């Protein structure tokens, strides 16, 4: 038999039912853990008053001290205006200061195709950049950053006081009734180190203006408004969410919704989970036991193979310089998956998966028929000590950088530009479906009409699973 020809369906090993079932269960388990994409909280002034009555000084939160906002006056460069929160709706002095603040703000724009766009039918708050304001609110002192570290970025949970998160004030926004709103959108990360955003609502009466955050079919709503002025509670409220989450601000129907927005960046600490921190009790992660039990089964991948898992969150993976930098910004469930498999002493790769599926290839790959002679069958990556588990039509490449081939090719001449990206196919067992993609390659095409073809890639974890006879006792953390 010609070694350059792919094996026929009859000669391919049939997967045990248990292998497929376990892989599907693992995929469902991982997808279910993606519900943690946002978190929020509040510091209630009424609760602080109760604590004072009980003379429990330790229970008094620092938010009892008014939050003071200062900004450059529009009348004179040497004059600074001032507004104190909580803002009493009945206070005439506060109302005048609020009017001055709104006059000093500018209409808010949003990014579209790399440009700042001003469209009040889509986005209608006003804003003030951080360079023009000063506020004595510190999310670190309130414990907000520590909470975000534990909920959204477990990789940042170090020890000896290291949080691993840097919060940078971005701007102030005012959503004023009767029409302040921002339709659904996804923020553009300011750098590859940014993993999310923090929105802090200053205590000012308003109705409506709910923040709705969505990710992977899940939705979470943060309602910081009050039904009326009598029910208004002077407290600071906040929400944090990942950068790849869609979010919108519903219409403010009464009052003023005033918020501070912070960009959240990963700041590596000594508790980096990608290097398996001893500060973390690995068995506390439910996924650890799930995977460990899976690997103990002798009828799961008895001959070994490759288990691949698409990341569930969006990353600018084509811009990362290397895998190490990419691992430092993994989010929630993605970090948990990587950490668990690494703790189980399995060989891991973090790679970009280029999808080069075309209708021309699909008919052959779906039926496992031999490819036409002009297509080199070694793209199917037959040279492996482990039997193929699932034939995929993706190319595995390195992280970082976008590629542009300087050759003009037809569809069937894939080998002329695949060499610029990687040199083989991988045959793997995919645990889940891809959720996020990014443009990775583009090349010129010709025919009836010349054009540009774009190709997309997904970030994924590639796990090498040894044969059952070689797995032994995995996951010892002693």
Query: Domain of 212: which CATH number?
Result: 2.60.120
Is residue 230 domain-shared with residue 328, that is, in the same domain?
no
Is residue 315 domain-shared with residue 297, that is, in the same domain?
yes
Q: Which residue range(s) make up the domain with 214?
A: 38-151+165-266
**Radius of gyration of the chain, Cα coordinates, nearest whole angstrom:** 27
**Pick from 4-13, 148-157, 261-270, 277-286: least confident:** 4-13
Q: What is the C-alpha to C-alpha distance for residues 338 and 30, in angstroms, rounded to an integer?
A: 11
Q: What is the C-alpha to C-alpha distance for residues 33 and 287, in angstroms, rounded to an integer?
A: 9
273 inside domain: no
**Pick from 15-19, 339-343, 458-462: least confident:** 15-19
Residue 261 binned pLDDT confidence (cut-offs 50, 70, 90): very high
Is residue 319 domain-shared with residue 460, that is, in the same domain?
yes
274 inside domain: no
Is residue 459 domain-shared with residue 385, that is, in the same domain?
yes
Residues 6+ apart with CB under 8 A from 362: 393
Is residue 94 domain-shared with residue 68, that is, in the same domain?
yes
pLDDT at 408 (0 to 100): 39
DSSP-assigned letters across all residues of 13-71: PPPPHHHHHHHHHHHHHHHHGGG-SEEEEEE-HHHHHHHHHTT-GGG--GGGSPEEEEE
pLDDT tops 50 at residue 184: yes
Residue 29 binned pLDDT confidence (cut-offs 50, 70, 90): low
Q: What is the C-alpha to C-alpha distance for residues 319 and 10, in angstroms, rounded to an integer?
A: 42
Residue 41 binned pLDDT confidence (cut-offs 50, 70, 90): confident
Strands 180-185 and 246-266: antiparallel
Is residue 211 domain-shared with residue 107, that is, in the same domain?
yes
Is residue 317 domain-shared with residue 466, that is, in the same domain?
yes
Which one, of 193, 225, 174, 196, lies nearest residue 39 by Cα? 196
Is residue 380 domain-shared with residue 421, that is, in the same domain?
yes
Contact assessment for residue 200 and residue 238, using Cβ atoms and an 8 Å cutoff: yes
Q: What is the C-alpha to C-alpha distance for residues 269 and 191, in angstroms, rounded to an integer?
A: 19
| Mean pLDDT to the nearest integer, 273-294 | 65
181 inside domain: yes
Two structure tokens written together for 272? 């980096």
pLDDT tops 90 at residue 213: yes
477 inside domain: no
pLDDT at 102 (0 to 100): 92
Is residue 391 domain-shared with residue 451, that is, in the same domain?
yes
**Pick from 48-62, 231-245, 256-270, 302-316: least confident:** 48-62
Q: What is the C-alpha to C-alpha distance for residues 474 and 465, in angstroms, rounded to an integer?
A: 11
pLDDT at 60 (0 to 100): 33
Could you give the 3-state DSSP secondary structure of residue 122?
Answer: coil
3 inside domain: no
430 inside domain: yes
**Pick from 5-19, 173-187, 316-330, 430-444: least confident:** 5-19
99 inside domain: yes
pLDDT tops 70 at residue 182: yes
394 inside domain: yes
Higher pLDDT, 155 or 295: 295
Last residue of a domain, one of 266, 299, 320: 266
pLDDT tops 80 at residue 52: no
Is residue 438 domain-shared with residue 345, that is, in the same domain?
yes
**Pick from 245-249, 265-269, 328-332, 378-382: least confident:** 378-382
**Pick from 175-189, 305-319, 333-347, 440-454: least confident:** 440-454
Is residue 189 domain-shared with residue 173, that is, in the same domain?
yes
| Mean pLDDT to the nearest integer, 450-456 | 56
Is residue 241 domain-shared with residue 305, that is, in the same domain?
no
């Amino acid at each position: 038999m010609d070694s350059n020809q792919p094996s026929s369906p009859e000669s391919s090993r049939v997967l045990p039912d248990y292998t497929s079932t376990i892989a599907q269960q693992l995929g469902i388990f991982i997808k279910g853990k993606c519900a943690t994409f946002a978190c929020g909280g509040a510091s209630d002034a009424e609760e602080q008053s109760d604590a004072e009555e009980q003379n429990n000084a330790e229970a008094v939160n620092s938010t009892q001290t008014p939050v003071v906002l200062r900004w450059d006056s529009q009348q004179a460069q040497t004059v600074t205006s001032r507004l104190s929160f909580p803002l009493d709706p009945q206070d005439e002095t506060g109302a005048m200061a609020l009017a001055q603040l709104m006059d000093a703000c500018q209409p808010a724009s949003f990014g579209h195709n790399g440009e700042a766009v001003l469209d009040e039918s889509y986005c209608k708050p006003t804003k003030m950049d951080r360079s023009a304001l000063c506020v004595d609110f510190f999310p670190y002192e309130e414990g907000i950053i520590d909470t975000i570290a534990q909920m959204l970025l477990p990789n940042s949970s170090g020890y000896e006081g290291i949080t691993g998160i840097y919060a940078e004030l971005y701007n102030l926004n005012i959503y004023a009734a009767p029409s302040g709103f921002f339709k659904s959108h996804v923020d553009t990360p300011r750098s590859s180190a940014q993993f999310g955003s923090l929105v802090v609502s200053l205590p000012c009466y308003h109705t409506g203006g709910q923040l709705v955050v969505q990710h992977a079919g899940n939705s979470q709503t943060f309602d910081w408004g009050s039904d009326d002025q009598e029910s208004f509670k002077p407290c600071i409220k906040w929400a944090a969410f990942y950068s790849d989450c869609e979010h919108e601000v519903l219409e403010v129907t009464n009052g003023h919704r005033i918020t501070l927005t912070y960009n959240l960046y990963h700041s590596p600490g000594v508790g980096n989970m990608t290097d398996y921190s001893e500060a973390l009790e690995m068995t506390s992660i439910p996924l650890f036991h799930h995977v460990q039990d899976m690997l103990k089964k002798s009828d799961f991948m008895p001959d070994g193979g490759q288990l691949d898992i698409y990341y569930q969150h969006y990353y600018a993976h084509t811009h990362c310089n290397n895998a190490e930098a990419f691992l430092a910004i993994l989010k929630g469930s993605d970090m948990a998956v990587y950490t668990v498999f690494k703790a189980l002493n399995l060989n891991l790769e973090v790679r970009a998966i280029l999808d080069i599926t075309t209708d021309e290839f699909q008919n052959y790959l779906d039926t496992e028929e031999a490819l036409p002679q002009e297509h080199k069958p070694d793209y199917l990556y037959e040279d492996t000590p482990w039997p193929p588990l699932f034939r995929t039509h993706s190319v595995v490449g390195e992280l970082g950088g976008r590629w542009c081939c300087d050759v003009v090719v037809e569809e069937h001449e894939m080998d002329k530009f695949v060499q610029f990206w990687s040199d083989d196919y991988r045959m793997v067992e995919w645990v889940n479906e891809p959720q996020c993609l990014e443009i990775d390659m583009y090349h010129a095409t010709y025919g009836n009409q010349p054009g540009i073809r774009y190709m997309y890639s997904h970030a994924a974890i590639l796990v090498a699973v040894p044969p059952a006879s070689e797995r032994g006792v995995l996951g010892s953390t002693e």
